Amino acid sequence: MSGPSTNFLSIVIGLFLIVLLKKILNTWNARKGPYPPGPKPKFLIGNALDFPMSGIGQHFMEVGAQLQSGLVHLNIFGNHILFINKKNIADDLLEKRSKIYSGRPQLPAIKAIGWDTSNIALIDYGDEWRKHRKIAQQHLNKQQTRAYEPVQLRHLRKMLYRLIRSPEDFMQHSEVFSTAVMMDIMYGYQIDRHDDPANAAAEKMLSLTIPLLLPGGALMNVLPFLRYLPAWIPGNIAGKRVKESIFWMHEMRGIPMADLRKRMDQGTATYSVVSDCLEKNAASAVDTDPDAERVVCNIAWASYAGKF
C-alpha cells in the first residue's frame, strides 16, 4: 500500500520527466545559429539560478559589461530571455523591426490572471492592442496631457505639505502623489493617504502578481498545463497566488469605479478619462464604440497600477 511519501515521490519524478522531455524537445526545435552571450546554463534548469528577484536591470547591465555585449541571453527551463543594454540596439530591434520583435511575453501566468487581454502593457500586438492604443492616444497624447497639469499641481502641493510635516516618510509621500495623480485623471478619485482602500488593493495585487511573472516565479510558466489545476490542490502555490491576484485586481478596479458611478449619479463627478467615456456612451448609443467602456477601464487601472 503506497503512503503519502510514495505519492509525493511519484509526483516529483513525474515533474522531473516532464521538464526533461521539454528540454529535449526545445533542443530538437532550437533554431540554427548561436544565441547572444550569457551566463553558462546548467543542466535542465538552465540559468534559473542566475536570475535575481530584485535589481534585475542593474544586474544584467553589469553582466553585459563583463561579457562586453549589449545583449545578454538566458535560458530558463527552456524559456529564452534577452536583455537589451544599449539604446541603439533597442531602437534597431524594437522600433525599426517592431513588427518582428515588439511582441509581448505570453506567459501562462499572465493568461491565468487575465493580463493578456486587460493590461495594455502586456496585450500582444494585434486588433485588441490597437483598440487600446487608439483610446489611450486620445486621452494621453502630448497635447491632451497639458490639460492635466492643474491636477498634477494640486497633488504636488498636497505632497509638499505632507513632506514638510513628516520628511522621513518621503518614499510613502511620493507613492501617494503618483497614485493620486493617475487616479484623479482616470476616475476623479481622490487619494490623500497611503492606506486608501484602492491604493492598498493595488499594492496587494501587485505584490502577489509580480513574482509570478519573473522567470522561475511560477512552475506554470514552465509547465503550462499547471495553470488549469485547482488552487486548493496541496503544493499549488502559484495557483493560490493567481486566485488571490484576481480577487485583488477586481478590488482595485471596482473601488474607484463604484465611487465614480456614485458621484455621477449624484451629479458631483468632475471630469476624468473614464467619466468622459461613460457620458459619451450614455449620450449616444449610435456613434460610440460599445466596447469603449471596457477598453478605457482597462487603460485606467493599468495606468495607476503601472506607477508601482
At 172, list the grid cell. 510613502
Q: 43-60, pLDDT tens digit by residue?
A: 777 887 888 877 888 888
State phi, psi for 231 to the nearest 5 degrees: -65, -20
Give SS3 for 173: helix
**Residue 17 parent element (H or E):** helix 4-29
Specify the higher pLDDT residue, 67 or 233.
67
Domain assignments of the chain as residue spans, ordered by start: 4-103, 137-305
Per DSSP, which regions of the chain are E strands? 71-76, 79-84
Which pTM does this prediction carry? 0.73
Per the CB < 8 A criterion, the answer to whether 238 and 213 are in contact is: no
Q: 71-99, pLDDT tens digit by residue?
A: 999 887 777 888 898 989 888 888 888 77
Count helices and strands (H / E) in the chain. 13, 2
pLDDT of residue 246: 92
Mean pLDDT, all residues of the chain: 82
Q: Which residues pair with 2 in a beta bridge?
A: none
3-class SS shares of the chain: helix, strand, coil, % to 5: 65, 5, 30
Q: Indicate whether 244 pLDDT > 50.
A: yes
Q: 258-307, pLDDT tens digit by residue?
A: 999 999 999 999 999 999 888 887 776 555 566 888 899 999 988 877 65
Distance (Å, whole) CA 224 – CA 257 = 33
pLDDT of residue 308: 47
Which residue in this structure is represented by grid cell 527551463?
A: 77
Distance (Å, whole) CA 59 – CA 116 = 27
Residue 257 neighbours by CB distance under 10 Å? 18
Distance (Å, whole) CA 129 – CA 258 = 26
113 Cβ contact partners less than 8 Å away, ≥ 6 residues apart? 209, 212, 242, 245, 246, 249
At 12, list the grid cell. 516529483
Distance (Å, whole) CA 212 – CA 241 = 8
pLDDT of residue 268: 93
